[in-house]
Amino acid sequence: MMEEEIEPLVRFEGVGLRYGRNPEVLSDLNFSLPAGSFHYITGATGAGKSSLLRLIYMGVRPSRGSIRLFGQDVTRFSRKNLPLIRRRIGIVFQDFRLVDHLSVFDNAALPLRLEGRPRAELREHVLELLSWVGLGDVVDQFPPALSGGEQQRLAIARAVINRPALLIADEPTGNVDDRIAERLMRLFEELNRLGTTIILATHNDSLRASFPHPSLILKHGQLKYSGEGYVEDRSHMTMAWDQVEKTVLSAMELGRKAVNPEAIKPRDARHELHQIHHGEMENQFDWNEP
């Protein structure tokens, strides 16, 4: 009796990506990642790491090929269907995308408020996580008052607060010291142990050596692999790539508002999180209709 094949959580088949009429920044990507795995994405600056992450979290539609997430071909999705999948994904953006007029506590709590959970019920959980990432003493402050490293840790707390099925992190330890980086990596590994699939982009070789996991290695917009094999090497089929990856992730411009954070309602949280996470802000996501 043949065993039923288990659908990978992420599968790319013949995927290419170009911005406008420029040459492809990613070419002929063929790989799959099983549920519950932990993978690094690494490569030199401009190799395409952020663009690959954008494809995985559906921040941009591929120019060609097929992407399957959670068993569904998302390349065929319309924009209105994307939130159904994105709710299962936690994202740590390289530019953080915090909400400046919300406190540290309320930024971290946004995904839980989106689920309709009252502030009193989630308070202990949020405070515990903020303490773990070293923000326990600044819960009532606002993002502009934080250092870059503190903002990064807050972005991580928000991404993991509701135990997503898939966590995508773009250089999540880039602005923190070694002690905090190790603490954050232990948090990621614990989430992975509990079942969350982790995809982490980094150029920190010492970090990968200290916390060894398989790596997807990008070079000139093409994938190589280090670890237990999931990548199909079709490099002989790839197109020439001679352009450094564009900087396409723009920072959120939410502006300041005179809002009492205590007065946030679930509907308000839903609006804020949709702006950050579901691409309703102009130019945040390039998901043209198929």
Q: What is the pLDDT of residues 162-208, one digit of tens each?
A: 889 999 999 998 888 888 889 889 989 999 999 999 999 998 889 99
3-class SS letters over the chain: CCCCCCCCCEEEEEEEECCCCCCCCEEEEEEEECCCCEEEEECCCCCCHHHHHHHHCCCECCCEEEEEECCEEHHHCCHHHHHHHHCCEEEECCCCCCCCCCCHHHHHHHHHHHCCCCHHHHHHHHHHHHHHCCCCCCCCCCHHHCCHHHHHHHHHHHHHCCCCCEEEEECCCCCCCHHHHHHHHHHHHHHHHCCCEEEEECCCHHHHHHCCCCEEEEECCEEEEECCCCCCCCHHHCCCCCCCCCCCCCCCCCCCCCCCHHHCCHHHHHHHHHHHHCCCCCCCCECCCC
Residue 226 has pLDDT above 80, yes or no: no
Q: What is the pTM of this model?
A: 0.76
What's the confidence (pLDDT) of residue 213? 95
What's the confidence (pLDDT) of residue 154? 95
The structural domains of the chain, ordered by start, are: 34-57+81-228+239-283 (3.40.50.300)
What's the confidence (pLDDT) of residue 246? 27
Q: What is the pLDDT of residues 56-100, one digit of tens each?
A: 999 999 999 999 999 999 998 988 888 888 889 999 988 899 999
